[in-house]
Amino acid sequence: MSTFKLPSLAFEYGALEPYIDATTMEIHLTKHHNTYVTNVNNVLGGPNGAAIKGLSLEAIQRSVSSLDPAIQTAVRNSGGGHYNHTMFWTTLAGVGSANSAPFGDLKTAIESDFGSVDEMQKLFNTTAATRFGSGWAWLCVGDDGKLFITSTPNQDNPLMTGIADKPGTPILGLDVWEHAYYLKYNAARPAYIAAFWNVVNWDKVVENYSTAKSGGTAVMDVPMQ
């Protein structure tokens, strides 16, 4: 049976310094993310695993609300955690290794839907900073093709139709669980959020936007073994 495996980063743990420290990156990937992979694989190998067997990671997100309660919580938390983190890693880039700002059609859409890149970032920052407890902030493409910003608790994401407050296709996400920033920033979540913009892989986000506009989901390397 095919199972999910932990993805490899496209950069070294220290490549995001000084904005995100190497120790946090290593722990975040090898401990936190790895736990989600292990747990969703446990569901796949369990008595009710047939419900998600053969589904892509993206399809699993969309199916969560219709799953049997016996596995729904585990899939929501661990399947969501695997998807969210995998996307997060692909939209980060080492300092100076990718475009440092939106460009092309995405830039045009941001200016149309938010007024400016600065206004989009301000709204995103506020959304991330005010997410109560643990969760994520997202830049998404809606069913109407317009961009919007939202947040989700825990390991939920906007693909989870019937669960997300505002469903859509995420093209950029930020982890605001404390484990994502506490070693470096302690309780200063806004400082971590501000630093995040220095390591966004806008090349990938532009690619995600193009894919979402075509009706697909973010192109990610989600290997199975």
| Single-letter residue type at 83 | Y
175 is in an annotated binding site: yes
- For the beta carbon of residue 50, count every other beta carbon within 10 angstroms: 9
- How many Å apart are CA 57 and CA 52, to the nearest integer? 9
32 is in an annotated binding site: no
* Helix (H) / strand (E) containing 171: strand 169-175
Beta bridge partners of 151: 137
**Ramachandran category for residue 67: left, alpha or beta (phi over 0 → left; psi -120 to 50 → alpha):** beta
144 is in an annotated binding site: no
33 is in an annotated binding site: no
The answer to whether the beta carbons of residues 94 and 16 sit under 8 Å apart is yes
Binding residues: 28, 85, 175, 179
Binding residues for Mn(2+): 28, 85, 175, 179
